[in-house]
Structure 1
Amino acid sequence: MKKNKLTKMNFSKYFALFITITLFISCADFDRDFEEERYYTSSHAEENNAAGGTVGLQALDGAILSYLRDGESSTDEFGIKAVDLGMDLRSNDMDMSTNTWFGAYNNYDNIILTSNDNEFIWEFFYKVINNANGIINTIPEDSPEETLIFKYKSHAYRAIAYFYLLRIYQHTRADDSTEAIPIDFGDFVGQPKSTVGEVKQLILEDLSLAYNGLENHARASKQEVDASVVAAYLARYYLTYENWTEAEKYADIAMSVGSIESDVMHGFDELSLSEVIWGAEVTEATSEVYASFFSHTSQINDGYSGWNHFKTVNSNLYNMIPDTDVRKGWFADQEYDPGVIIVPGTWGHYNITPKYTSLKFIAEPGPGVFIGDYIYLRNTEFYLTKAEALARQNKDTDAQQVLFDLNSVRDENYTLSTKTGQDLIDEILMYRRIELWGDGVASFDMARLGTGLNRQDGRENLVMPGADLVIPALDAKMIYQIPIAEVDAEN
């Protein structure tokens, strides 16, 4: 059963009250390891109440990160990766074979105001917002820098949540004066809808404040938010709303994190990969097992993907990938019989693997084992963002070079593009679809580009019955209705 609105509000009130206490309490021993905790509970409060300095803030920050990772810890509500997977299943590029978990995303059935999936998305991001507000509103501006760091991080969390909500519940190309979603200021009072422009302004203010505040902050691991993470979301924001110069600027910062991996068949399940900007470590203690991203996407595991719930690539997109491009190996090139070991070193799965099935995401193999880290951001996305932003500014030579810098690592036969203008932009967009397949970007790109859904395009891969839809770009089905629980609360 879903938590009702009152439960959500009480959780956040308690969160805000507790952080106020933690800021002014004397230091005490504090040795609990919160890194693997999923929820902020009363037992956390007891130990935090005895702590001083930033220890309590670290735990609260960790609670938000854990919630982003785990969500409601149920089969299709496992945090931000569940939302990313659901959004990709609404795109032209990812299909599934059977109407099961996530099927309602694929056939657009869950956009209605009474849908459980819809309620999850709404509550998930507003809980992040409420809990970020709990930190933002209780840390004075004249606090020590070590304390303000947590305020800056919370501005980032709040901005990320609003950025998702705004694009899910309103058309990306909607005018700034269009009604969108409520802004929660942390006072737990039902709010009317704010306009697109008002929400965009808050997102940009939060991201800018977070970037400036975290610019000199050195994080301990890729699980934490720092300026590079914020730069990535600034690049996404500016690309979405067509500020090409700023998109170029922040994409350049984000793409400079690490280097591009030459081996793309590693399964994208390790934060240690050089191209990872931000993600979450998943251990045996924190794995949600079947209620996890890899259960739904890792074909060689004993999970939903392997139980005939295949995630497949649009065959038309697959055919666009050059044969010399290693990214073609992300998808099955033929139908494999049961027991055939597709990925070397993994266990022989008992099931078939149809042609075009995803092999991009591979967790630690074995029956009931899903130990794979969650990757939220990779630097390769921002090579493509910078390339597109440059091309939109008619800086074709520079755009060609950035595209080459990425593609030459993925395809040893790739040559510097000679395309210009719209042809170059189209090439960059094609490679965005290939490189970022399954990363939660596809349907958001469709929305910003004004691209409709067309699953009657002659694709040969498995398509879920009833999901062979054609929907125009600005059709009402392309956005979600505000859930009935929120509507009732506002009334």
Structure 2
Amino acid sequence: MKTKNILSVLAVSALVFTGCVDLDTIPEGNIVTSDQKDEILESDPSKAEASVNAIYTQFSLFATVITETERHNDIGYPALMLFMDTNGADFLSDDNGYNWMGNSLTFDDRIFTSYESRINWGVLYNQIYAANTVISFLGEDSENPDYQNYVAQAHAARAFDYWVLAQLYQFNYTNHKSDPCVPIITEKNALTVTDEGCPRATVEQVYAQMMEDINKAISVLEDSPLKRRDKRYISVDVAYGIRARINLSMGNWAAAAEDADKAISLSSSSPYTIEQMKRPAFNSADDNSWMWGIKIAETDEVVTTGICNFPSHMGSFNYGYCWYSGGRQINKMLFESIPATDVRKGWWLDENTQSPNLNEDDMEVINTYYGPYTQVKYAPYKGELWTSTNASDIPLMRIEEMYLIKAEGQAMSGNVAGAKTTLESFIQEYRDPEFTCKATSPQDMQEEIYHQRRIELWGEGMSWFDIMRLNKGVDRRGAGYPNASSIFNIQPGDPILLWRLPEKEIQANKALSNNDNNKATPIPSPVPDFGE
């Protein structure tokens, strides 16, 4: 589409589609007819597959949103994972000159001119644009089963993107259905957006769009004969997992549990075992636990940069910014709440910088750069210590999350006994054989499951969604933050928790004005830590 939008951020999208972008136009810019599209596909069927590949390419591109300068955190969706986790209270780091997430530590990222603001918006709407291109080009009525599969994947990817957007730009669905969320751009209105603009839709409207998309995806993928090549692609179990997340965010508890259970039953994945968790891991989509992930190749630009990638910022054993930023630590109180019998306690260094998961060679790296509570959850690429080839895959969905969603959905729909069985069975078999759940009410069960999610999904870009859907605050007191300037006690519902639409979007979108944006809010004031 020559009029690709959302408006200010998609100008560079065409650079990554090479041969598959603007599939609905001919060189003169006129719209291709259905017959012409069929001719294109008949003469070059690879264009159809290339179009869906472009969706997943968007997840890990370097320097495609901020084009006027090089930002080493402009690394695709993993940047959002880091921003969101850093905004919370469980993902600590030192606010020093090597930490590219410093603005997210202090909430300076909420300024609507910030690079982080533009990266959030640009990454997600570029992915939406890629999905729109697939749907528009291949069409909803194709009789080719492969093309039907590609369109279904595009619908699922678009649902995922709007699910993320909804939780960045507005509070939870339950209490804010009629509040403004984000503009909805689909293949149906993309051609009119440049001239007319597109206003913010309500939270309810955005969730309706994502639910429509994911329902379409599931209806096709359930019967599709096409098997995915690898885990970068969305399969039917992943689609059910996405819908389980959406239903969880909407408070559709029974539906969330049902979808999570369906994802488990359809998936070939199984949780990491206790033995597998006694060593650093989480670096390969080939791991059986992973349902969906970002596949990274050694030749990808995010890798060849050396330092502009997720492992560089996140890792502990590989070369990158992590060596100089001091790495990422867990909330000290959260760490102390993990029983010694839980294998996950070894995912972080203890107060003496020790972990039972590490050998002598591992400790040589750790002792060189890191202090207590630093993560050793993520292994380096191919397990090679000191490596500067940061080509690790990045998790987007693991089967363990589905067990936690199922348990929460059961509890909150009134089946506390079933939820307790689901949770205890999962934790006892795969994490802590001595675990017992003491919760007796739906709300207590939900809190216990939230606690388990904070541990299990730590560092995987999931914590912010729980903060928003459960109406939590961000209390960093007692967590062990190294900078007094990062210690906040932000109350639930504080407007600083919402991102603002980027200034460039407000300027470019004719249907938006400054009055349509989320409230401009001063960054939070630091508070005394416990014991001060």
For the superposition of Structure 1 and Structure 2, which TM-score range results when normalised by the shorter chain? 0.7 to 0.9
Please name the residue that 2:44 is paired with: 52
1:41-440 matched pairs, under 5 angstroms: 51-53=43-45, 55-70=46-61, 72=63, 74-99=71-96, 100-144=99-143, 145-173=145-173, 174-185=175-186, 186-187=190-191, 188-189=193-194, 190-217=197-224, 218-256=227-265, 257=267, 258-262=269-273, 263-264=276-277, 265-286=279-300, 287-288=302-303, 289-336=306-353, 342-343=358-359, 346=362, 348-349=364-365, 351-364=368-381, 365-421=385-441, 422-440=443-461
CA distance in 2, matches of 1:125, 1:412: 37
Give the deviation of 1:91 after TM superposition. Answer: 1.1
Please name the residue that 1:25 is paired with: 40
Give the deviation of 1:253 after TM superposition. Answer: 2.1
Question: Does the 8 A contact of 1:235 with 1:246 survive in 2?
Answer: yes
CA distance in 2, matches of 1:16, 1:297: 39
What is the one-letter code of the residue matched to 2:80?
Answer: V
Relative distance call for 1:5 and 1:395 in structure 2 (3 A) is: closer
Give the deviation of 1:135 after TM superposition. Answer: 1.6
What is the one-letter code of the residue matched to 2:148?
Answer: L
CA distance in 2, matches of 1:129, 1:447: 22
Question: Does the 8 A contact of 2:406 with 2:422 survive in 1?
Answer: yes
Q: Which runs of 5+ in 1 are unaligned?
A: 28-50
Q: CA RMSD in A?
A: 2.5
What is the one-letter code of the residue matched to 1:95?
Answer: L
Deviations 1:52-109 (A, max 9, x none): 23x1111121122111122537521212122112101111211111242011112111
Equivalent of 1:7, from 11, 30, 45? 11
CA distance in 1, matches of 2:41, 2:94: 57
Question: Does the 8 A contact of 2:324 with 2:369 survive in 1?
Answer: no
What is the one-letter code of the residue matched to 1:368?
Answer: S
What SS does the corresponding residue of 1:153 show, helix, strand or coil?
helix
What SS does the corresponding residue of 1:72 show, helix, strand or coil?
coil
Give the deviation of 1:231 after TM superposition. Answer: 0.8
Moved more, 367-376 or 353-362: 367-376
Question: Does the 8 A contact of 1:15 with 1:131 survive in 2?
Answer: no
CA distance in 2, matches of 1:276, 1:10: 30
CA distance in 1, matches of 2:412, 2:292: 27
Relative distance call for 1:192 and 1:8 in structure 2 (3 A) is: farther
Question: Does the 8 A contact of 1:401 with 1:416 survive in 2?
Answer: no
CA distance in 2, matches of 1:22, 1:259: 41
Please name the residue that 1:490 is paired with: 509
What is the one-letter code of the residue matched to 2:421?
Answer: Q
Give the deviation of 1:23 after TM superposition. Answer: 3.9
CA distance in 2, matches of 1:195, 1:157: 20
Please name the residue that 2:516 is paired with: none
Give the deviation of 1:205 after TM superposition. Answer: 0.2
What is the one-letter code of the residue matched to 2:239?
Answer: V
CA distance in 1, matches of 2:500, 2:423: 38
Relative distance call for 1:292 and 1:347 in structure 2 (3 A) is: farther
CA distance in 2, matches of 1:398, 1:344: 43
CA distance in 2, matches of 1:97, 1:345: 25
Deviations 1:175-231 (A, max 9, x none): 222112111132243211111111111011001101111112322221211111111
Question: Does the 8 A contact of 2:139 with 2:151 survive in 1?
Answer: no
Deviations 1:417-467 (A, max 9, x none): 3531033332222111111111111121011111111112x23x3434411
Please name the residue that 1:38 is paired with: none
Relative distance call for 1:344 and 1:61 in structure 2 (3 A) is: farther
Give the deviation of 1:127 after TM superposition. Answer: 1.1
Moved more, 196-205 or 368-377: 368-377
CA distance in 1, matches of 2:247, 2:8: 35
Give the deviation of 1:160 after TM superposition. Answer: 1.2
Please name the residue that 2:499 is paired with: 480
Question: Does the 8 A contact of 2:41 with 2:47 survive in 1?
Answer: no
Relative distance call for 1:177 and 1:385 in structure 2 (3 A) is: same
Question: Does the 8 A contact of 1:183 with 1:193 survive in 2?
Answer: yes
The normalised TM-score by structure 1 is: 0.88
CA distance in 1, matches of 2:151, 2:400: 29
Corresponding residue pairs, total: 461
Moved more, 415-424 or 263-272: 415-424
